[in-house]
Amino acid sequence: MIQICNLKKYFGSNLILKDINLSIKKGEIFALVGHSGAGKSTLLRTINGLENYQDGSVKVFGKEIKSMQKSQLRDFRKKIGMIFQHFALMSRKTVFENIATPLRFWKYDKAYITSKVNELLQIVGLEDKANSYPSELSGGQKQRVAIARALALEPEILLSDEATSALDPNTTKSILELLKKINRELGITIVIVTHEMEVVKSVADRAVLLDGGVIVNEGSIQKLFLKPDKNMQKFLGEEAIVPENGVNIALYFPKEVAFDCVITNMARKLDKDFNIVWGKIEKLNDSVLGHLVINIKSEDKDCVLEYIKKTGVLWEIME
Ligand SMILES: Nc1ncnc2c1ncn2[C@@H]1O[C@H](COP(=O)(O)OP(=O)(O)O)[C@@H](O)[C@H]1O
Ligand SMILES: [Mg+2]
């Protein structure tokens, strides 16, 4: 649905996107992740033709964006909705009118607008707020209005630029649930830009990690988080503090074994002592991941590793 090949984008003489390659499938929730300044928003904006590019190709619905005429671009943008961190609502207009704006622009008739806006209010759970003004709404409600407006023209793709970054954790959760519902029930492909790992973990199917305009990691959420490589670890800021004596082993439990008693069984079978340095279990979209660091005596290393290899648990010696 979205195909980006060897994309290069400059602002003046600054190369901002350096040879980006990615492809997003219909029906996916895809995340562009990275720290501030990485180029996420710029990349997102090339997808709906809001940013030009100097080299490479950006194809959406099979069409090269650069080659579209103005009128083609206008029709094309109709199929892509967008939401932002600060909602971008019109403060002088009611919720109903905010949502109706794109429909009025495209000159739909009155009866259609009324029924469409009411349907959208229901989808986002704001049936009782049609006549309220943005200033009377909470942040989460404002984002719901923005989402309804983005869906007004029945887009095939929804672009979200840090849509939950201004919201508290619980509101973030409810907005992410809404995005998942929209993806599932309306079949809309969603591309989210975020610097928040929790967002990626809870909704995305796949992601790319951007750093300085370069894709430094990519893949399914399971792949990215199960055994984070150096780039992911750097982004996550996880610097483990571990004992200096003995051998530290990081263990990663894929969902199939996340709840197994691998470690206690190992202790019993091998009759070895070890320390649990730290551990956590977390939810990842619809599955769970476990992560544990243990410390063992140097002389036990070989037999412990031999045991672990048989269990299906992924491991890594921490240097
Ligand atoms: N309109 C612009 N003109 C010049 N430089 C820009 C413009 N927009 C963004 N940049 C620069 O491009 C880089 C990437 O910005 P951006 O895509 O907004 O990153 P992110 O969304 O990941 O925080 C930054 O260094 C930023 O300063
Ligand atoms: Mg940004």
* Per-residue model confidence as pLDDT tens digits over 117-153: 999 999 999 999 999 999 999 999 999 999 999 999 9
Type of residue numbered 311:
T
Task: Give 217's strand partners.
Answer: 209
Does ligand 1 come within 6 angstroms of the Cβ of 41? yes
Please give the share of the chain, as a percent, with pLDDT higher than 90. 70
Type of residue numbered 317:
I
CA 162–ligand 1 middle distance (angstroms): 14
Please report which ligand is nearest the Cα atom of 214: 1
Strand ranges across the sheet with 2-11: 14-24, 2-11, 55-60, 63-64
Does ligand 1 come within 6 angstroms of the Cβ of 36? yes
CA 297–ligand 2 middle distance (angstroms): 47
Report pLDDT for 239. Answer: 66
CA 178–ligand 2 middle distance (angstroms): 22
SS3 270: helix
Is-contact 16 39, C-beta < 8 A? yes
Report pLDDT for 12. Answer: 92
Closest CA to 53 of 4, 97, 116: 4
- What atom of ligand 1 comes closest to residue 39's alpha carbon? 17
CA 50–ligand 1 middle distance (angstroms): 13
Backbone angles phi, psi at 52, to 5 degrees: -85, 175
Name, in order, each residue with C-beta under 8 angstroms of 118's C-beta and a sequence gap of 6 or more. 127, 130
Domain residue spans of the chain: 2-233, 245-318
Please report which ligand is nearest the Cα atom of 36: 1
Sort residue 318 into left (φ over 0), alpha (ψ -120 to 50) or beta: beta
- Domain 245-318 homologous superfamily, CATH: ACT domain (3.30.70.260)
pLDDT in tens, 236-284: 876 667 888 899 998 888 777 766 678 888 888 888 888 888 888 777 7
Does ligand 1 come within 6 angstroms of the Cβ of 39? yes
Computed over its alpha carbons, how large is the radius of gyration of the chain? 24
Q: Kindly indicate whether the domain formed by 2-233 is annotated with CATH number 3.30.60.50.
A: no
